Chains A and B, each alone.
Chain A
Amino acid sequence: MKKVYPDAKAALAGIVKEGMMVMAGGFGLCGMPETLIKALRDSGVKNLTCVSNNAGIDGAGLGLLLETRQIKKMIASYVGENKLFAQQFLAGELEIEFNPQGTMAERIRAGGAGIPAFFTKTGVGTDIAKGKEERTFNGERYIMETGLIADLSLVHAWKGDTEGNLVYRKTARNFNPMMATAGRITVAEVEHLVEPGELDGDMIHTPGVYVQRIIHTTAEKRIEQRTLRKRPEPAGAYGTGEEV
Chain B
Amino acid sequence: MNAQAIIAKRIARELRSGMLVNLGIGIPTMVASYVPGDIHVFFQSENGLIGTGPIPEQGMAHPTLTDAGGHPVTALPGASSFDSAMSFALIRGGHLDLTVLGGLQVDQTGRLANWMIPGKMIPGMGGAMDLVSGAKRVIVAMQHTAKGRSKIVGKCTLPLTSTRPVDMVVSELAVIIFHNGSATLSETAPGVSVDDVIAATQAQLKIPKDVREMQL
A residues contacting B by CB (< 8 A) are: 27-31, 53, 76-81, 86, 89-90, 96, 98, 100-106, 108-109, 120-128, 141, 158, 168-178, 205, 221-232, 235-241, 244
Contact = CB atoms under 8 A, between A and B. Distances in A.
20 contacts: A27-B70, A30-B63, A98-B125, A101-B130, A102-B84, A103-B129, A122-B92, A127-B160, A170-B62, A170-B64, A175-B84, A223-B61, A224-B71, A227-B71, A228-B56, A230-B58, A236-B34, A237-B37, A238-B32, A238-B35
A28 B63 CA distance: 11
B64 to A, nearest CB: 4
Interface in B46-92: 46-49, 53-58, 60-66, 68-72, 75, 81-85, 87-89, 91-92
Given A102-B88, A102-B127, A127-B159, A227 B35 contact: no
B35 A236 contact: yes
Contacts of B48: 27, 171, 173-174
B126 interface: yes
Given A77-B127, A171-B66, A227-B71, A241 B81 contact: no
A34 B7 CA distance: 39
Given A96-B124, A170-B62, 13 more contacts: A27-B84, A30-B64, A79-B124, A105-B84, A106-B85, A109-B85, A123-B129, A126-B159, A172-B63, A173-B48, A227-B55, A229-B56, A241-B55
Contacts of A240: 33
Interface string B157-172: 0011111100000000
A239 B49 contact: no
Nearest to B39: A237
Contacts, number: 209
Interface of B: 12, 29-30, 32-37, 39, 45-49, 53-58, 60-66, 68-72, 75, 81-85, 87-89, 91-92, 119, 122-130, 133-134, 159-164
Contacts of B81: 170-171, 173
User: 3 closest pairs, A vs B, by CB?
Assistant: A102-B88, A80-B123, A224-B70
Contacts of A230: 57-58
B70 A174 contact: no
A76 B92 CA distance: 18
A170 B72 contact: no
Contacts of B37: 236-237
Nearest to B58: A228
Contacts of A228: 55-58, 60-61, 72
Contacts of A172: 63-64
A176 B188 CA distance: 46
Contacts of B134: 102, 121-122
B130 A239 contact: no
A222 B49 CA distance: 19
B88 A128 contact: no
